[in-house]
Amino acid sequence: MTAAFILGINMFIGAIFAVAFGVVSATNRTARGAGWLAAGYALGMVYVALEFELRWQADPVPVSIGIYLAFLAATTCCLIGVAQHYRLSPPRAAITAIWIASLVTTPVIFTLPYGSGLRTLLYQLPYAVMQFFVGWVIFRSRQRQPLDLLLMALSSLAALLYLLKPAVAWFVGTARTPQDYMASTYAAISQSSASVTLIALALVLLLVMMRDATAEMAAQSQTDPLSGVLNRRGLEVHGAQMLAEAQRQGKQLTLITADLDHFKAVNDTFGHTAGDEVIVQFAARLSEAAGEDGIVARLGGEEFAVLLAKTDLSAGRRFAEALRQSLSTQPLLGLGIGQTVTASFGVAQMASDDTLYELSHRSDTALCKAKAGGRDRVHLALKEAPCSSPATKFIARQAQPGSVEYTRSHHNFSAV
Protein backbone atom coordinates (compact mmCIF):
# COMPACT_ATOMS: atom_id res chain seq x y z
CA MET A 1 0.00 0.00 0.00
CA THR A 2 1.61 3.29 -1.12
CA ALA A 3 1.91 6.40 1.02
CA ALA A 4 -0.19 8.31 -1.53
CA PHE A 5 -3.08 5.87 -1.08
CA ILE A 6 -2.84 6.08 2.71
CA LEU A 7 -2.65 9.86 2.51
CA GLY A 8 -5.82 9.84 0.42
CA ILE A 9 -7.53 7.75 3.09
CA ASN A 10 -6.36 10.24 5.73
CA MET A 11 -7.86 13.10 3.74
CA PHE A 12 -11.18 11.25 3.51
CA ILE A 13 -11.10 10.49 7.24
CA GLY A 14 -10.28 14.10 8.02
CA ALA A 15 -13.25 15.25 5.94
CA ILE A 16 -15.62 12.86 7.73
CA PHE A 17 -14.55 14.00 11.19
CA ALA A 18 -14.48 17.67 10.21
CA VAL A 19 -18.11 17.34 9.13
CA ALA A 20 -18.98 15.25 12.20
CA PHE A 21 -17.56 17.75 14.68
CA GLY A 22 -19.06 20.61 12.68
CA VAL A 23 -22.53 19.06 12.87
CA VAL A 24 -22.11 18.40 16.59
CA SER A 25 -21.07 22.02 17.14
CA ALA A 26 -23.99 23.38 15.12
CA THR A 27 -26.69 21.19 16.64
CA ASN A 28 -25.61 20.74 20.25
CA ARG A 29 -24.81 23.80 22.32
CA THR A 30 -23.48 21.66 25.15
CA ALA A 31 -20.73 20.22 22.91
CA ARG A 32 -18.03 22.69 23.90
CA GLY A 33 -14.94 22.77 21.70
CA ALA A 34 -16.50 20.83 18.82
CA GLY A 35 -16.09 23.80 16.47
CA TRP A 36 -12.36 23.95 17.15
CA LEU A 37 -12.04 20.22 16.56
CA ALA A 38 -13.89 20.60 13.26
CA ALA A 39 -11.44 23.34 12.27
CA GLY A 40 -8.52 21.13 13.28
CA TYR A 41 -9.61 18.23 11.10
CA ALA A 42 -10.38 20.63 8.23
CA LEU A 43 -6.83 21.99 8.46
CA GLY A 44 -5.66 18.39 8.38
CA MET A 45 -7.28 18.15 4.95
CA VAL A 46 -5.32 21.24 3.87
CA TYR A 47 -2.15 19.52 5.06
CA VAL A 48 -2.94 16.42 2.95
CA ALA A 49 -3.76 18.52 -0.11
CA LEU A 50 -0.40 20.29 0.19
CA GLU A 51 1.37 16.93 0.52
CA PHE A 52 -0.11 15.89 -2.82
CA GLU A 53 0.92 19.22 -4.34
CA LEU A 54 4.50 18.94 -3.11
CA ARG A 55 5.61 16.34 -5.64
CA TRP A 56 4.97 18.74 -8.54
CA GLN A 57 7.00 21.64 -7.13
CA ALA A 58 10.32 22.67 -8.63
CA ASP A 59 11.13 24.50 -5.39
CA PRO A 60 9.65 22.42 -2.55
CA VAL A 61 10.44 24.83 0.30
CA PRO A 62 7.34 27.13 0.18
CA VAL A 63 4.90 24.21 0.03
CA SER A 64 6.91 22.28 2.63
CA ILE A 65 6.64 25.22 5.01
CA GLY A 66 2.90 25.37 4.30
CA ILE A 67 2.60 21.66 5.14
CA TYR A 68 4.55 22.14 8.36
CA LEU A 69 2.49 25.10 9.57
CA ALA A 70 -0.88 23.72 8.42
CA PHE A 71 -0.45 20.59 10.52
CA LEU A 72 0.78 22.66 13.46
CA ALA A 73 -2.36 24.80 13.14
CA ALA A 74 -4.47 21.64 13.04
CA THR A 75 -2.94 20.30 16.26
CA THR A 76 -3.36 23.73 17.87
CA CYS A 77 -7.08 23.78 17.08
CA CYS A 78 -7.49 20.29 18.51
CA LEU A 79 -5.71 21.30 21.72
CA ILE A 80 -7.96 24.35 22.12
CA GLY A 81 -11.05 22.25 21.39
CA VAL A 82 -10.16 19.63 23.99
CA ALA A 83 -9.42 22.32 26.59
CA GLN A 84 -12.75 24.03 25.95
CA HIS A 85 -14.63 20.76 26.18
CA TYR A 86 -13.09 20.04 29.57
CA ARG A 87 -14.01 23.57 30.73
CA LEU A 88 -10.40 24.69 31.02
CA SER A 89 -8.57 27.65 29.57
CA PRO A 90 -6.29 26.59 26.71
CA PRO A 91 -2.59 26.72 27.68
CA ARG A 92 -2.05 29.99 25.80
CA ALA A 93 1.49 30.52 27.05
CA ALA A 94 2.53 27.05 25.91
CA ILE A 95 0.79 27.43 22.54
CA THR A 96 2.44 30.81 21.97
CA ALA A 97 5.86 29.44 22.93
CA ILE A 98 5.47 26.46 20.58
CA TRP A 99 4.50 28.72 17.69
CA ILE A 100 7.34 31.17 18.32
CA ALA A 101 9.87 28.34 18.56
CA SER A 102 8.47 26.73 15.40
CA LEU A 103 8.61 29.95 13.39
CA VAL A 104 12.11 30.76 14.62
CA THR A 105 13.43 27.29 13.75
CA THR A 106 11.63 27.08 10.39
CA PRO A 107 14.57 28.55 8.40
CA VAL A 108 16.92 26.14 10.18
CA ILE A 109 14.72 23.10 9.55
CA PHE A 110 14.40 23.71 5.83
CA THR A 111 18.08 24.40 5.27
CA LEU A 112 19.20 21.18 6.95
CA PRO A 113 19.73 18.14 4.67
CA TYR A 114 16.42 16.47 3.87
CA GLY A 115 15.97 13.26 5.85
CA SER A 116 18.66 14.08 8.40
CA GLY A 117 17.95 13.10 11.99
CA LEU A 118 18.16 16.65 13.32
CA ARG A 119 15.81 17.99 10.65
CA THR A 120 13.26 15.25 11.32
CA LEU A 121 13.47 15.79 15.09
CA LEU A 122 13.03 19.56 14.87
CA TYR A 123 10.15 19.04 12.41
CA GLN A 124 8.26 16.59 14.64
CA LEU A 125 9.00 18.16 18.03
CA PRO A 126 6.27 20.89 17.97
CA TYR A 127 3.64 18.27 17.09
CA ALA A 128 4.77 16.04 19.94
CA VAL A 129 4.70 18.88 22.47
CA MET A 130 1.27 20.04 21.27
CA GLN A 131 -0.08 16.50 21.57
CA PHE A 132 1.49 16.17 25.01
CA PHE A 133 -0.46 19.23 26.14
CA VAL A 134 -3.70 17.60 24.98
CA GLY A 135 -3.07 14.81 27.47
CA TRP A 136 -1.98 17.32 30.10
CA VAL A 137 -5.24 19.27 29.73
CA ILE A 138 -7.26 16.10 30.28
CA PHE A 139 -5.11 15.24 33.30
CA ARG A 140 -5.61 18.73 34.73
CA SER A 141 -9.39 18.42 34.34
CA ARG A 142 -9.35 15.60 36.93
CA GLN A 143 -11.82 13.63 34.85
CA ARG A 144 -10.97 9.99 35.43
CA GLN A 145 -13.71 8.07 33.67
CA PRO A 146 -12.61 5.28 31.30
CA LEU A 147 -13.03 7.38 28.15
CA ASP A 148 -11.00 10.23 29.65
CA LEU A 149 -8.21 7.87 30.60
CA LEU A 150 -8.29 6.33 27.12
CA LEU A 151 -8.12 9.76 25.48
CA MET A 152 -5.21 10.72 27.73
CA ALA A 153 -3.39 7.51 26.82
CA LEU A 154 -3.99 7.99 23.09
CA SER A 155 -2.72 11.58 23.27
CA SER A 156 0.43 10.40 25.04
CA LEU A 157 0.87 7.64 22.46
CA ALA A 158 0.49 10.13 19.60
CA ALA A 159 3.12 12.39 21.18
CA LEU A 160 5.46 9.42 21.51
CA LEU A 161 4.94 8.44 17.87
CA TYR A 162 6.02 11.90 16.73
CA LEU A 163 9.20 11.59 18.78
CA LEU A 164 9.90 8.12 17.37
CA LYS A 165 9.71 9.24 13.74
CA PRO A 166 13.39 10.30 13.54
CA ALA A 167 14.37 6.80 14.69
CA VAL A 168 12.01 5.24 12.13
CA ALA A 169 13.46 7.45 9.39
CA TRP A 170 16.98 6.43 10.37
CA PHE A 171 16.05 2.73 10.49
CA VAL A 172 14.10 2.39 7.21
CA GLY A 173 15.56 5.36 5.37
CA THR A 174 13.73 8.23 3.76
CA ALA A 175 13.47 9.90 0.37
CA ARG A 176 16.32 11.91 -1.13
CA THR A 177 14.11 14.93 -1.80
CA PRO A 178 10.77 16.24 -0.50
CA GLN A 179 9.21 15.55 -3.92
CA ASP A 180 10.04 11.85 -3.53
CA TYR A 181 8.48 11.60 -0.06
CA MET A 182 5.37 9.75 -1.29
CA ALA A 183 7.43 6.90 -2.72
CA SER A 184 9.36 6.20 0.49
CA THR A 185 8.80 3.41 3.01
CA TYR A 186 9.10 6.00 5.78
CA ALA A 187 6.13 7.91 4.33
CA ALA A 188 3.99 4.76 4.29
CA ILE A 189 4.82 4.02 7.93
CA SER A 190 4.37 7.64 8.98
CA GLN A 191 1.00 8.03 7.26
CA SER A 192 -0.24 4.65 8.49
CA SER A 193 0.48 5.54 12.12
CA ALA A 194 -1.14 8.93 11.55
CA SER A 195 -4.23 7.25 10.14
CA VAL A 196 -4.62 4.99 13.18
CA THR A 197 -4.16 7.79 15.71
CA LEU A 198 -6.37 10.13 13.66
CA ILE A 199 -9.28 7.69 13.76
CA ALA A 200 -8.75 6.62 17.38
CA LEU A 201 -8.51 10.16 18.75
CA ALA A 202 -11.51 11.40 16.79
CA LEU A 203 -13.72 8.46 17.76
CA VAL A 204 -12.86 8.74 21.44
CA LEU A 205 -13.40 12.51 21.35
CA LEU A 206 -16.83 11.99 19.80
CA LEU A 207 -17.68 9.40 22.46
CA VAL A 208 -16.55 11.76 25.21
CA MET A 209 -18.74 14.52 23.78
CA MET A 210 -21.73 12.20 23.46
CA ARG A 211 -21.24 11.00 27.03
CA ASP A 212 -20.97 14.52 28.42
CA ALA A 213 -23.88 15.82 26.34
CA THR A 214 -26.06 12.98 27.63
CA ALA A 215 -24.98 13.70 31.21
CA GLU A 216 -25.71 17.41 30.82
CA MET A 217 -29.14 16.74 29.36
CA ALA A 218 -29.87 14.43 32.27
CA ALA A 219 -28.68 17.11 34.70
CA GLN A 220 -30.88 19.72 33.01
CA SER A 221 -33.89 17.44 33.29
CA GLN A 222 -33.19 17.14 37.03
CA THR A 223 -32.55 20.84 37.67
CA ASP A 224 -35.05 23.58 38.45
CA PRO A 225 -34.41 26.32 35.87
CA LEU A 226 -35.36 29.21 38.18
CA SER A 227 -33.50 28.38 41.37
CA GLY A 228 -30.68 26.28 39.91
CA VAL A 229 -31.12 23.53 42.51
CA LEU A 230 -32.48 20.05 41.85
CA ASN A 231 -36.13 19.59 40.96
CA ARG A 232 -38.37 16.84 42.32
CA ARG A 233 -37.03 14.34 39.78
CA GLY A 234 -33.47 15.24 40.73
CA LEU A 235 -34.25 14.67 44.39
CA GLU A 236 -35.71 11.26 43.58
CA VAL A 237 -32.57 10.22 41.70
CA HIS A 238 -29.83 11.72 43.88
CA GLY A 239 -31.76 11.41 47.12
CA ALA A 240 -32.33 7.70 46.63
CA GLN A 241 -28.60 7.21 46.01
CA MET A 242 -27.72 9.27 49.07
CA LEU A 243 -30.18 7.37 51.27
CA ALA A 244 -28.98 3.97 50.05
CA GLU A 245 -25.36 4.93 50.72
CA ALA A 246 -26.19 6.14 54.24
CA GLN A 247 -28.06 2.90 55.01
CA ARG A 248 -25.26 0.78 53.58
CA GLN A 249 -22.64 2.58 55.67
CA GLY A 250 -24.82 2.77 58.77
CA LYS A 251 -24.71 6.57 58.85
CA GLN A 252 -27.43 9.04 59.79
CA LEU A 253 -29.39 11.17 57.35
CA THR A 254 -32.06 13.82 57.81
CA LEU A 255 -34.60 15.32 55.42
CA ILE A 256 -35.82 18.87 55.97
CA THR A 257 -38.82 20.17 54.05
CA ALA A 258 -39.26 23.95 53.92
CA ASP A 259 -42.09 26.13 52.69
CA LEU A 260 -42.11 29.92 52.38
CA ASP A 261 -45.07 31.23 54.33
CA HIS A 262 -47.91 33.09 52.57
CA PHE A 263 -45.95 33.18 49.33
CA LYS A 264 -49.04 33.85 47.22
CA ALA A 265 -49.39 37.14 49.06
CA VAL A 266 -45.80 37.98 48.13
CA ASN A 267 -46.56 37.48 44.43
CA ASP A 268 -49.84 39.38 44.67
CA THR A 269 -48.29 42.31 46.53
CA PHE A 270 -44.84 42.66 45.00
CA GLY A 271 -45.26 40.90 41.65
CA HIS A 272 -43.98 37.63 40.25
CA THR A 273 -40.55 39.05 39.42
CA ALA A 274 -39.96 39.88 43.07
CA GLY A 275 -41.38 36.50 44.03
CA ASP A 276 -38.97 34.75 41.67
CA GLU A 277 -36.08 36.65 43.21
CA VAL A 278 -37.14 35.48 46.66
CA ILE A 279 -37.21 31.88 45.39
CA VAL A 280 -33.71 32.24 43.93
CA GLN A 281 -32.27 33.77 47.10
CA PHE A 282 -33.94 31.25 49.40
CA ALA A 283 -32.55 28.39 47.28
CA ALA A 284 -29.08 29.95 47.44
CA ARG A 285 -29.31 30.26 51.21
CA LEU A 286 -30.37 26.63 51.55
CA SER A 287 -27.53 25.50 49.27
CA GLU A 288 -24.94 27.51 51.18
CA ALA A 289 -26.15 26.10 54.49
CA ALA A 290 -26.30 22.51 53.18
CA GLY A 291 -22.73 22.59 51.90
CA GLU A 292 -21.07 19.63 50.20
CA ASP A 293 -22.70 17.03 52.45
CA GLY A 294 -26.25 17.97 51.48
CA ILE A 295 -28.46 18.30 48.44
CA VAL A 296 -31.18 20.89 47.90
CA ALA A 297 -34.25 20.52 45.71
CA ARG A 298 -37.21 22.69 44.79
CA LEU A 299 -40.26 20.47 45.01
CA GLY A 300 -42.54 22.98 43.34
CA GLY A 301 -43.76 26.51 43.96
CA GLU A 302 -42.28 27.75 47.21
CA GLU A 303 -41.55 24.32 48.72
CA PHE A 304 -38.00 23.00 49.07
CA ALA A 305 -36.27 19.94 50.48
CA VAL A 306 -32.80 19.59 51.99
CA LEU A 307 -31.23 16.17 52.45
CA LEU A 308 -28.33 16.20 54.90
CA ALA A 309 -25.85 13.36 55.19
CA LYS A 310 -24.20 12.47 58.51
CA THR A 311 -26.92 14.41 60.33
CA ASP A 312 -29.27 13.22 63.07
CA LEU A 313 -32.59 14.76 64.13
CA SER A 314 -30.96 17.08 66.64
CA ALA A 315 -28.56 18.49 64.06
CA GLY A 316 -31.39 18.72 61.54
CA ARG A 317 -33.44 20.74 64.01
CA ARG A 318 -30.54 23.14 64.58
CA PHE A 319 -30.04 23.48 60.83
CA ALA A 320 -33.71 24.31 60.23
CA GLU A 321 -33.95 26.65 63.21
CA ALA A 322 -30.86 28.58 62.11
CA LEU A 323 -32.38 29.03 58.66
CA ARG A 324 -35.72 30.10 60.15
CA GLN A 325 -34.06 32.72 62.32
CA SER A 326 -31.83 33.97 59.50
CA LEU A 327 -34.89 35.02 57.51
CA SER A 328 -35.54 37.61 60.23
CA THR A 329 -31.97 38.66 60.98
CA GLN A 330 -30.85 38.62 57.34
CA PRO A 331 -34.00 39.20 55.24
CA LEU A 332 -34.09 38.02 51.66
CA LEU A 333 -33.64 40.86 49.19
CA GLY A 334 -36.10 41.75 46.48
CA LEU A 335 -39.10 42.95 48.48
CA GLY A 336 -37.75 46.28 49.63
CA ILE A 337 -36.40 47.62 52.91
CA GLY A 338 -38.14 46.31 55.99
CA GLN A 339 -39.96 43.54 54.13
CA THR A 340 -39.36 39.99 55.32
CA VAL A 341 -40.61 36.53 54.55
CA THR A 342 -40.83 33.61 56.95
CA ALA A 343 -40.70 29.87 56.40
CA SER A 344 -41.98 26.71 58.03
CA PHE A 345 -39.90 23.56 58.34
CA GLY A 346 -40.53 19.85 58.79
CA VAL A 347 -37.67 17.60 59.88
CA ALA A 348 -37.46 13.80 59.75
CA GLN A 349 -34.58 11.43 60.41
CA MET A 350 -33.98 8.34 58.30
CA ALA A 351 -34.74 4.92 59.74
CA SER A 352 -32.63 1.93 58.79
CA ASP A 353 -35.36 0.49 56.55
CA ASP A 354 -36.70 3.76 55.14
CA THR A 355 -37.42 4.45 51.51
CA LEU A 356 -37.10 7.99 50.23
CA TYR A 357 -40.88 8.11 49.86
CA GLU A 358 -41.43 7.17 53.52
CA LEU A 359 -38.85 9.67 54.73
CA SER A 360 -40.32 12.40 52.51
CA HIS A 361 -43.84 11.61 53.70
CA ARG A 362 -42.88 12.04 57.36
CA SER A 363 -40.98 15.24 56.70
CA ASP A 364 -43.84 16.64 54.63
CA THR A 365 -46.37 15.74 57.31
CA ALA A 366 -44.21 17.49 59.90
CA LEU A 367 -44.16 20.55 57.63
CA CYS A 368 -47.95 20.50 57.44
CA LYS A 369 -48.05 20.41 61.26
CA ALA A 370 -45.74 23.43 61.38
CA LYS A 371 -47.98 25.36 59.01
CA ALA A 372 -51.12 24.33 60.86
CA GLY A 373 -49.53 25.42 64.13
CA GLY A 374 -49.12 29.02 63.00
CA ARG A 375 -46.21 28.90 60.50
CA ASP A 376 -42.73 30.36 61.00
CA ARG A 377 -41.66 27.34 63.04
CA VAL A 378 -39.83 24.02 62.93
CA HIS A 379 -41.71 20.76 63.48
CA LEU A 380 -40.01 17.41 64.08
CA ALA A 381 -41.26 13.98 63.12
CA LEU A 382 -40.37 11.81 66.11
CA LYS A 383 -40.91 8.19 66.93
CA GLU A 384 -41.35 6.41 70.23
CA ALA A 385 -39.84 3.00 69.81
CA PRO A 386 -37.37 0.88 71.77
CA CYS A 387 -34.58 2.03 69.49
CA SER A 388 -35.25 5.74 70.10
CA SER A 389 -31.92 7.38 70.77
CA PRO A 390 -31.16 9.39 73.93
CA ALA A 391 -30.60 12.41 71.73
CA THR A 392 -34.14 12.12 70.33
CA LYS A 393 -35.64 11.86 73.82
CA PHE A 394 -33.58 14.85 74.92
CA ILE A 395 -34.93 16.88 71.98
CA ALA A 396 -38.47 16.05 72.99
CA ARG A 397 -37.82 17.30 76.54
CA GLN A 398 -36.21 20.48 75.24
CA ALA A 399 -39.15 21.66 73.09
CA GLN A 400 -39.24 25.42 72.56
CA PRO A 401 -42.85 26.59 72.26
CA GLY A 402 -43.49 28.98 69.41
CA SER A 403 -40.49 28.01 67.32
CA VAL A 404 -39.99 24.24 67.44
CA GLU A 405 -42.75 21.67 67.80
CA TYR A 406 -42.61 17.90 68.05
CA THR A 407 -44.81 15.06 66.91
CA ARG A 408 -44.50 11.50 68.18
CA SER A 409 -45.74 8.37 66.48
CA HIS A 410 -46.07 4.94 68.02
CA HIS A 411 -45.32 3.39 64.64
CA ASN A 412 -41.86 2.75 63.30
CA PHE A 413 -41.09 6.15 61.75
CA SER A 414 -44.58 6.37 60.28
CA ALA A 415 -46.13 9.62 59.16
CA VAL A 416 -46.66 12.06 61.98
Closest CA to 299 of 269, 257, 263, 348: 257
Burial class (CB in 10 A: 0-12, 13-18, 19+), 172: middle
91: Cβ contacts below 8 Å, ≥ 6 apart = 79, 83, 133, 136, 137
Strand order, beta sheet including 404-407: 294-300, 303-309, 253-260, 343-349, 378-381, 404-407
CA distance 332 to 334: 7
Task: Compute the Cα dihedral for 409, 299, 293, 245 and give only its sign.
Answer: positive
**Pick from 275, 320, 328: which is nearest to 294 by CA?**
320
Count other C-beta atoms under 10 Å from residue 199's C-beta.
15
CB count within 10 Å of CB 403 equals 12
Residues designated catalytic = 302
Which is nearest to 160 in space by CA: 109, 122, 124, 202?
124
Give the three-class secondary structure for 103. helix
